A and B are shown apart, each in its own frame.
Chain A
Amino acid sequence: MCDTCGCNVTHSNAHLVTDKGKLARTEDGRQAITVLQNLLTENDRQAVHNRQHFDKQSILAINLMSSPGAGKTALLEATIDGLADEFSIAVIEGDLETENDAQRIRDKGVPALQISTGSACHLDAHMVHDALHHLDLNGVDIVFIENVGNLVCPASFDLGQHRNITLLSVTEGDDKPAKYPVMFRAADLILLTKSDLLEVIDDFDPQQAEHYVRQLASEAPVLQLAARRKIDIDSWLDWLRDEVMAQRERRINNLSLRPNIQPEGAALHSADKYHHDDHDHHHQHTHSHRHSPS
């Protein structure tokens, strides 16, 4: 099957494809094939390609996600101020409209490419690939991809990054991880931003936010900082330094890294376990209407 459809066979799903990828005929003579292929296979393939770009040049790629206004660009500005002497940084900015964020980064002397997504609510691997070809990555140590401000859609698209970071500003409410579990599960690191406002905000409890993160079975570190006033940013900068070193090590050992949570492995594993071709499902079906040709 994979020779014809080109789907991405990995060590975690190969057994499924070989065990179940056989052709079968139904009673009414129609042909049915078992596919078991991630819906975003094409995006994922492009993401693998992007990751190879990064790995080849020993670049650490970081995907920043949050709701709009949580302080992703302010975090980048503070990070550039803190690390510009140590590392070469480049930034890909995703927004629906304007060059404003890219301009803020360029004002810091760092190359930035703005992707204007129009109405698209997330970046995908193809957009990032196009952007990479417009950025000079020579000698770059870290590429930050600032995703579109949105706590929903960006979590579903692998861009080729090594790490996902989710920002939660203290003005948003400490129960955001419970409300947006897909996003917060995807994080390798969670930053509670604008922490200098905690003294005037009485309904955000950082421990409660962390509690909700743990309820998602996440072991991601949770750090607090206030980027604009550069309060408590040292732990974040240290985390980044460690990650850059780890990426260089991986390069030497010819290894790569995907973000902590990847749906594919669990998806195909559970597909093996819970899907039965005899349609004796113990889970719920929903059927769409058959629609007439337009």
Chain B
Amino acid sequence: MHELAICQALIEQVEDLARDNHAVSVETIWLQVGPLSGAEIPLLEHAYPLAAAGSIAENANLVIDTMPVRVHCKKCGEESEASTNRLICAVCGDYHTKLISGDEMVLSKLEFDK
């Protein structure tokens, strides 16, 4: 369960950004999380209130975008949808692919009151 550590890192970033933007409260935090990031979205949601307690983001909404798993095939050049443990090209079946989405663990956007 490293999601608490991840949420604590998130809150530190949010506090820095809020301070730099002279915010009085943080309203909404948007994350992008892919299934291959190693972070579980339900666990992030459970850990978030613990990490946020007492911070400027204590009352913020956490909105998590689940990112799709997609690969680009180095052989045929096509992009296709994949699953977390089957990252092969859906078009030609080759395994020489590059993940282009699905391993994100990103703070994408913040909304705050000034």
Contact = CB atoms under 8 A, between A and B. Distances in A.
A133 interface: no
A31 interface: yes
B110 A263 contact: no
B60 to A, nearest CB: 8
Contacts of A31: 21, 23, 111-114
B17 A35 contact: yes
Interface string A273-292: 11101000101111110111
Contacts of B68: 274, 283
Contact of A156 (B2, B31, B59): B2
A5 B65 contact: no
Interface in B26-47: 27-28, 31-32, 34, 36-39, 41, 45
B9 to A, nearest CB: 6
Contacts of B86: 215
B78 interface: no
A121 B101 contact: no
Interface stretch (A69-77, A108-116, A177-185, A231-239): A177-185
Interface stretch (A37-45, A139-147, A189-197): A37-45
Contact of B101 (A212, A273, A287, A292): A273
Interface in B80-114: 84-88, 95-114
Interface residues of B, number: 65
A122 interface: yes
Contacts, number: 197
Contacts of A83: none
A275 B53 contact: no
B16 A217 contact: no
Interface stretch (A54-62, A86-94, A249-257, A264-272): A264-272
> Chain A interface: which size bin?
35 or more
A152 interface: yes
A17 B113 CA distance: 22
Q: Is the interface of B mostly helix, strand, loop or mixed?
A: mixed
A216 interface: yes
Contacts of A292: 59
B10 to A, nearest CB: 5
A4 interface: yes
A34 B20 contact: no
Contact of A271 (B16, B106, B114): B106
Given A5-B17, A31-B114, A217-B87, 8 more contacts: A33-B109, A35-B13, A39-B10, A122-B2, A216-B87, A217-B99, A266-B103, A268-B106
28 contacts: A26-B111, A30-B111, A32-B111, A35-B107, A35-B109, A38-B106, A39-B107, A122-B2, A156-B37, A181-B85, A181-B87, A185-B36, A215-B86, A215-B88, A215-B95, A217-B96, A263-B103, A263-B105, A266-B99, A269-B100, A270-B101, A271-B32, A273-B100, A274-B32, A274-B68, A283-B67, A286-B41, A290-B60
Interface of A: 4-6, 26, 30-43, 120-122, 124, 152-153, 155-157, 177-179, 181-183, 185, 212, 214-219, 263, 266-271, 273-275, 277, 281, 283-288, 290-294
